[in-house]
Amino acid sequence: MNKPTSKRKKATSAASSDDTPPDNLTQEENPATATITVTAVEVTELTQEEQSDRLHLERKVERAFFEAGKALIELRDRRLYRSTHKTFDEYCLDRFGYNRSRSYQLVDAAVVVDNLQKCPQIVDILPTAEGQVRPMTKLEPQKQQEAWLKAVELAGGKVPTGRIVKDVVQRIMERTQVPNTYHLGEVCQILVKDNPELRGKGGCWGIVNHIGEFSCTVTMWDGEYTVRLDHLKPLNYLESECQQMQVICDRIRRLRDSGKLEAPAEAVLKCLGELKRPYLTEFEEELLSFIEGKYSLQE
């Protein structure tokens, strides 16, 4: 009885060593002989309306950072955060998770893109990411346009990478670099020039609270603004005079952050924001104290 069993085992072993798989072996068990079925993807042409919609939606995706920056500018300038937060920085961090640096990166990028769109030679090839714009925020508007056109040229007529833009900007800055000599707490005057964001601020004073390589952030009577050095004029006040102006600035800021001011109160603050001297007259002090009393902010 044992001998037939032994023969069957040998036969099975021989069959297993044969290079030809048995008929009942599936494709999964023998990948070398498996057949792969590829399903063809049907390609259909878009109608003219669909092509237009696609381009419109692609542009919206590409310009997301620009729209975010524009929205932040309006939220800041209109102080639409004042019902829930004391400062714009606190609002951005709490609402969007943006720290101060990120918020102003988007704000500055939106300003640059606005400027690029004014250039006749720049039609369809605009930045698609904030990182492409960031290096240009250090340049004057005309130089920004020059840098972008050169970067597009180096990229072969396509949207350049942030690295290409940075290299172009670096070369421009090397021949036009001006050192930042301002210091924290310094009082300076605003020069509007060609910056639409500063419209109506010409002649106003501000106190430097942040120093960049080619710009300063200044606190003014109606908020904070980051401006290039050529938009600032030093008032050369003494240290004690700068401290006096800081006190006035703090009082104005507390009023501004207290809630919606009535038009007459805003007019007084605007007037104080245009002072050409480092002190208040007796009448100006009375007016400011009166407004503080109305809003219960007197110390």
User: Looking at this protein, which amino acid is placed at residue 154?
Assistant: L
Which part of the chain is CATH 2.30.30.30?
Answer: 179-299
- Residue 139: count other Cβ atoms within 10 Å of its Cβ: 22
Name the token pair of 47: 């109608």
Please list, in sequence order, all residues whose beta carbon lies within 8 angstroms of the beta carbon of residue 130, skipping any fewer than 6 positions away. Answer: 65, 69, 105, 106, 109
CA-CA-CA-CA torsion for 20, 26, 29, 35, nearest 10 degrees? Answer: 90
Residue 232 phi, psi dihedral angles, 5° rounding: -120, 145
Q: Which CATH number fits domain 179-299: 3.40.50.620, 3.40.50.720, 3.40.50.2020, 2.30.30.30?
A: 2.30.30.30
pLDDT for res 288: 93
Instruction: Give CA separation, 203 vs 78, 193, 256, 276, in Å.
Output: 21, 11, 20, 8
pLDDT for res 40: 58
Q: Which residues pair with 99 in a beta bridge?
A: none
Q: Could you say which residues of the chain have pLDDT below 50?
A: 1-18, 20-22, 24-27
User: Looking at this protein, which amino acid is placed at residue 298?
Assistant: Q
Name the token pair of 37: 């079925």
pLDDT for res 268: 93
pLDDT tens digit sequence for 132-155: 999 998 888 999 999 999 999 999
Q: Which residues pair with 188 in a beta bridge?
A: 206, 234
Question: How is 240-297 classified by DSSP, letter by letter?
Answer: HHHHHHHHHHHHHHHHHHTSPPPHHHHHHHHHHTT-SSSS--HHHHHHHHHHHHHTT-
- Residue 16: count other Cβ atoms within 10 Å of its Cβ: 9
